[in-house]
Structures are given as C-alpha cells and as structure tokens.
Structure 1
C-alpha cells in the first residue's frame, strides 16, 4: 500500500492543521493546488516551510524537493497584498477626532466578524498608567476610580474605533459585550450604582458610536454615508432618521465598502463591462474573472445596497456572480467566512445528534421525519445522502413550511411556471420508473439562477450564499431553517435565538 505524505500546515497563527496527501507532489504548482482543495481555502497563496538546515527557520518554498519527509508549511495569503481583497484591517486613529486619512479610508475593508470575546484595546500611555494604578488600588482597598471627563473621552473614542473595525452599527448585545469586557479588564471602572457594574458604560458606548459614525460619515466612509441626509431641524423634508437604515443585519463584515484607491464608479463600470464579456465566453479565464470580481466588489455592493435591483437585473449585469466558485468567493468578501468549509463541517459535526433528535420525535411529525430518514443506509455510509436527509428533516422539525421551498417537476422542457416561486430549490426528475434526480436548480424571484447542481445540500448551501451576496430576505416559510444555518452552523450574527432554535441549540450542545 502506498504510504501517504503527512504534513503540518499553519493556515493562520490560530489555525494549525495536521493533514496528509496521497503522495508527495512532483512540483510546487501541484502542491499548491492539492492544498487549496484539501484545506478548502477560497484564496490564492504562497508557501513557506521550516528549513532543517537553518534550525527550522521559515523560508520561501520554491522547490518541492527542498521539503523533508515530515514537512511543516505556512500559508501566506496573496490577497493580503491587495486592497480589494477584503481583508485589510483599519489603521489606528488618533485622539484628534480625524478617523483616518483619505488614502486609508478607501482601503478600509473588514476582515473579521464580531469576535466571540471582545478584546479591549490598549489606550494612550497616560490613560494606561492611570488605569493600572486604579486597578492596584481597587485590588487592595476595593476603591473605585473617579474617571475624569477627558479620560472617559479617550477610553470611549478608542473603544468606538475598535468596534468600527467589526461593524459600524453595533447592537445592544455588542455594546454590552464591550462594556462587560472593559470592567473585566479594568475592575476599577466598575460603577457602584449599577446592578451589572457597567450599565452606564454601555449607554456611553452606544452614544459614542453614534458620534463616531458622524465623524466617519464626514470623512466619506460609504457604509455610514449611505444613511446621511436624514431628517433634521434644518432639513425637515428629508427621510426620518430611524427608518429604512441601510446596515448589516446578518453580521456582514463588508456590507458597503469604499471604492479602491484611484477608482470611481466610471472606472469600475468599465471593468464590469470587461467582466461581463469574459463571463459570457464559452470557457472564461477563471483567474481574470476572479481578479475583476474582486476589483468590482465595492461597485457591486453599492448597487445592491442602494439601488436594490431585481435578481434578473443582477444576472444581466453580473453573470459571473451566479457561478459556484463566485458564490462562495462573494460570501467570503461579504461575511469573511469560508461558507463551503464551515457549512459542511458544522453540519457533519451535528449530524449524529440531529438524527437522534429526529428519530425521537413522536406523532405525525415524527412519522414524516422517519419517512425522510429512510434513504440513509448506515452500511454504505453515503455522506451526501445523509446530509440531504438531515437538511430536508430540519424545516419539518423546526415547524417551517418547506413544501413551497423544496419543489420538483418532471422535466425542465415542460411549461412549468416558476413565476409564483419567490425562493426555492427545484429538483428535476427523470421519467424513469422509479424516477431519479436529473438535476437540481435554484429559483430566485421566479427565475432559475443556477442549475445542474449535483446535490440538494449543495444547492441549499449555494442558496444561503446567494441570499448574502444579493442582500435578500430569508424566505418566510423557511426562516427558522436559515437562521439555524446562520447562527448555529456558521455562528454568524447576534446569538439571540427564537425559543425553537434555542431549544434545538441546547439539545445539540447538551
């Protein structure tokens, strides 16, 4: 039997994986391609390796023959070299009230969703010194610190700057997380009259973020500028200040980014036209297509967020967006998540427990669940069949109406009318006896946007990505199922769940 080639890979400093390839590739290009598939990485990269000749110091890899039998590799993302790649972090701001320079603001794109544990940043030297002294006094005598007005301003300004790196519109839960983390790191800031010790800080953070957004709006940041010109005393005829606010609602990290440096709507429109022509070729150049999709991301989001075009209009202007690779790439640009990898890993992780919950259900719902679980054959252990059965059972278990979402027809060539289907997954059956699946398609706003999808689970994954890419609402009859995918499988957005989802999450984690 041919022995596999074991390797250790540093994907990031916090993501170190042990994996293996069937054999050691013969050249560097083959190694890069194998690792991209094996690790499910949605971006291009180069490699470094620990060279035993130099005490395992990292060196750039140019020849596979340099690698030892048990190699340690490090992934270096090439997207970090481009301002349009969507992973540049925002620069530090000063205490002068100027958030960032014009050059920096055009490159500002968020790389991470809101963290599970907020890391309180360091403040200016004098404020850090006073906080350390205050913490020591609190530990010794339990005396809380009297915070001066200028000191509180510096603390709030720095917190707002750090929060803006994740979102321009933090929720009440986000503000509570920051306030709680602040007094946990600096207990001398606890409030005597507050039941939690941070109620006042939470309110101050909330108002400071409003002031910070005003500064960012004046500096030209698109994600807050889009909500400018609201009704004020001087403009009484403008739109109400709190109605129809355009902001991320599902933890989109790059909801509305600025144009790249040196670009404007006209220059990006010319790139879009080249992109449209390339996408309509019989065999488009995938590298050029990806590069132009990255470059025009800000223009695409501006159209989607501000103009809210129809799906058919988006298909005409952005045909490349409705391909499998670009659906996953666009989700990464919008939400900074590897949808394909995270979706399947989380689903497979919970499969056993979900099957137990489905089988334990009684009554009419239990009978329907058992019927949907019949295709699963434990002897063949077909993972695709298992995933499909789990995803078809999930809406029924959560009380959703999947009858108008999962639809089927005998043949696409028939005069089947899809105009009444706002969102759905269509299964086209053969005319054999018994009928078999011919192909699977995705329907949005009565139009087939993607077809020839091999499995139902892949279609649902792509559907979720398209909803994010096109900024669509979840289908009404499947809201619980899509929120389960978002908040439990992908851990995106505030973790405030409906009673049904909270009960299911407790059962999965219990």
Structure 2
C-alpha cells in the first residue's frame, strides 16, 4: 500500500494550502490535476508547476515522477481561450469599408470612372442586416454569453464606503468583516449579484455560482470566510437560495423563461421542481425571450402568416430576415413549450430551414456566428491535419473509420 504524501499547493500569492494524498502520488499529471481541482474546488482551467530542488525554481510538470513528499506544487491559471475573436470576422461594417476602400484605390490607380452601384448594394444589404441584429437588443434579449471573469457590481451609497473600509482593514490587519456589520449588507449584495447573474442566465449552474462567489471574495477580501476551504463557500450557498427567490419574483412578473417551469404548466404527476425543467443548455443565451414591447402572440402570429407569403417572393431576403427576427420570441415559445416535430416546424416556419436563417437563428440563440466560428476552428485544425503523414491522413477519412 502506498504511503500518504503531503504536498504544499500554492493557489495564489497569499493562498497556500496543504494537500494530503492518502494513496500516494497519482500515476499521471491529469489525475493529479483532477485531485487538486476537486480538493480545492477550482472552477477555472489551470496547469501545474513543480519546484525543482536543484534550481530552486518552478518548472512545468509533465510527469508525476518529479513530485515527491512535501514538495511544492503551484497552480497556474490559464487565460480564457474561448474564440470570442471569431465574432470580429462577422463585422459587416468593416467588410463594407474594406470593399469601398478597395474600389476607391482601383479608381485612383486607373483614373477611370468606376461604377459604385455594386458596392452601394452591398452596403445597403449589410446595413439592413445590422439593423435586424440590433432590433433584438430589446429588454429580455441577452446580447452576451457568460463572461470569462465575472464582474462584481458596485453598491451605491454608504454601504459601498463601508465595504471599502472593510477591505482596507483586511489589507492592513488581515481581519474580515464581522457578522455584526455583514448581515445588514447581505440583502443589497445578494440582490445586486442576482440581477447581474440574470443578465446572462436565469438558471446559473453550480460552477457559475462558485465563480461569482469567488469573484466577490477576490474583489472584497473582507468577505472571505476563515472556516471555508476557498473563502467563498458560504457565499455560493447564499447565492443559490437568492437565485431561487429571484426566480420566484420573475415568475410573478410573467417572465416566460421562468414561468414555463411553474407548477400550473406541468402535469399532475410532474409537480416537482426539478422534473422536466426547461432551461438553457450550455451555449444557449436567449432560450425563451419575452415578446418585444407592444407585441402579443396574436400580432406575431399575423407576422408569421405574412412571412409564409413573403418567402415565396423572389429577391425578398431582406423582408424575410426582418420578419424572422421580429417573430423570434414566438418561434422559441412554440419550440420550447410545445416541442413540435420537425415536419410541423417546416410547415409553420419554412424560412427557418434556409441557409441564411439557420446562421441567423443560431446567432440569435447563442450570440455566436455559426459559419465564422466553424471556419475559424477549421483553420486551427488544418495545420495539424496538413502535418500528418499521408498514411495517417488517409486513416482520418470517414470512409476508413469503422462503424
């Protein structure tokens, strides 16, 4: 049986922990990575460094054979690597500017009159598309995904001054804010955090709740809990209860994203809070948005009926795109609540199955451009595929893979 091993784990400059491994050092770095992540409840992605005895410096850990009893391990948090930059590839305004500049340069070089009607047509279409996308930025429509680092909102008034005073006392003396002063602040703090979370999702996951709690204690160290393993466990539990209460208020206000899960809309045998819960998946931002101001289900149904005739007309993509954007909330309501068959969707929303509207609907739901994201990922994989040997490249083809 392996002997217990003790490791000194550095999580931050002022956060050093002791880790006991009863079964000894794991065989692989991935296993050690998982043990440290679970032991300290680390939500962000990170790598591991070990302190070399000979050099006295930290080196990247590639093998657990370099780790011995009472060695020092350093957790190095990685930068966010989500492809937000792919959104810039869909910037229509920049594309139009580049095309216009190109035509201007060609005109200057040739000193010949150049017809600008083709560029103007492109610009007009691009402007229309931009207006369609901006029309979705109405109350209830989210325009951004969960951030890589959650920003903690400020609390106005004397309470913010009190919190800053507590932070200064913590930096000077290392003393956290006492319960006597913390309890009066809880309603305002949790209320602000719940509103900030709802800007991204009404149903945050446990990981997202932990990220918010960790961000809170990092911004305001006076809120850290001495008895907690990461200083923010209690805040995560408070936020979970607060989001439950916050959703109850939203349900009373008629928020469709929350109201769809009320007991009144469930069958008798489904009267359980977590049964058949309809909530966004990982990438869905606008899962069930409310109707735009002044619109009702009846008015949007008329728009849908007009859309059936508009799609039959030639060169009418601009009007179709506008009506598809306008009826987005009605379409999501049908899909989420009724879960219709694909054949029924094709009859009611034939425009949804065109190439252009597939891209637009994906962007409306996730705020991410489908085509440009796919191409960007493909560009990242292309050098690796090109670098393979011919024999390995042929083995990657679908026809060479077993069923």
- 1:370 is aligned, of 384, 387, 393, to 393
Residue in 2 that maps onto 1:297: 328
Contact kept in structure 2, 1:230 and 1:241, CA below 8 Å:
no
Bigger fraction of residues in helix: 2
Distance 2:241 2:322 in 1: 40
2:279 aligned with 1:247, yes or no?
A: yes
Distance 2:233 2:128 in 1: 42
- 2:344 is aligned, of 313, 320, 324, to 313
Say if 1:217 and 1:31 are closer, same or farther in 2 by CA, change over 3 A.
Answer: same
Contact kept in structure 2, 1:135 and 1:187, CA below 8 Å:
yes
- The number of equivalent residue pairs is 302
> How large is the RMSD of aligned CA atoms in angstroms?
3.4
Per-residue Cα deviation, 1:59-117 (whole angstroms, up to 9, x for no partner)? xxxxxxxxxxxxxxxxxx6643x3xx2x34xxxxxxxxxxxxxxxxxx32111111111
Distance 2:152 2:183 in 1: 20
Any idea what SS the aligned residue of 1:123 has?
coil
Contact kept in structure 2, 1:231 and 1:240, CA below 8 Å:
no
Distance 2:305 2:372 in 1: 31
Say if 1:314 and 1:172 are closer, same or farther in 2 by CA, change over 3 A.
Answer: same
2:307 aligned with 1:275, yes or no?
A: yes
- 1:266 is aligned, of 287, 291, 298, to 298
- 2:103 is aligned, of 23, 30, 35, to 23
Shift of residue 190, structure 1, vs aligned partner = 0.7
Distance 1:28 1:11 in 2: 26
- 1:171 is aligned, of 205, 212, 215, to 205
For 1:10-409, what aligned pairs fall within 5 Å after superposition? Answer: 20-21=98-99, 22-24=102-104, 27=116, 30=119, 33=122, 44-45=129-130, 79-80=133-134, 82=135, 85=136, 87-88=137-138, 107-146=139-178, 147-229=181-263, 239-281=271-313, 283=314, 285-353=316-384, 356=387, 359=388, 369-371=392-394, 392=398, 403=403
Distance 2:330 2:284 in 1: 16
Per-residue Cα deviation, 1:127-155 (whole angstroms, up to 9, x for no partner)? 21111101111111101012432311111
Contact kept in structure 1, 2:385 and 2:393, CA below 8 Å:
no
Contact kept in structure 1, 2:132 and 2:322, CA below 8 Å:
no
Say if 1:236 and 1:275 are closer, same or farther in 2 by CA, change over 3 A.
Answer: closer
TM-score (norm 1): 0.54
Task: Decide which moves more: 235-244 or 154-163.
Answer: 235-244
Distance 1:186 1:248 in 2: 31
Shift of residue 231, structure 1, vs aligned partner = 10
Contact kept in structure 2, 1:278 and 1:284, CA below 8 Å:
no
Say if 1:78 and 1:240 are closer, same or farther in 2 by CA, change over 3 A.
Answer: closer
Distance 1:35 1:355 in 2: 40
Shift of residue 339, structure 1, vs aligned partner = 1.2
Shift of residue 15, structure 1, vs aligned partner = 12
Shift of residue 230, structure 1, vs aligned partner = 6.3
Name structure 2 gaps, 5 residues minimum. 1-86, 106-114
TM-score (norm 2): 0.67
Distance 1:302 1:236 in 2: 22
Say if 1:349 and 1:304 are closer, same or farther in 2 by CA, change over 3 A.
Answer: same
Per-residue Cα deviation, 1:294-323 (whole angstroms, up to 9, x for no partner)? 111001000100000000110011000000
Any idea what SS the aligned residue of 2:361 has?
helix
Residue in 1 that maps onto 2:83: none
Shift of residue 351, structure 1, vs aligned partner = 2.2
Say if 1:345 and 1:24 are closer, same or farther in 2 by CA, change over 3 A.
Answer: farther
Say if 1:78 and 1:259 are closer, same or farther in 2 by CA, change over 3 A.
Answer: closer
Distance 1:294 1:16 in 2: 20
Say if 1:131 and 1:222 are closer, same or farther in 2 by CA, change over 3 A.
Answer: same
Shift of residue 238, structure 1, vs aligned partner = 5.3
Say if 1:279 and 1:165 are closer, same or farther in 2 by CA, change over 3 A.
Answer: same
Any idea what SS the aligned residue of 1:23 has?
helix
Contact kept in structure 2, 1:114 and 1:251, CA below 8 Å:
no
Any idea what SS the aligned residue of 2:305 has?
helix
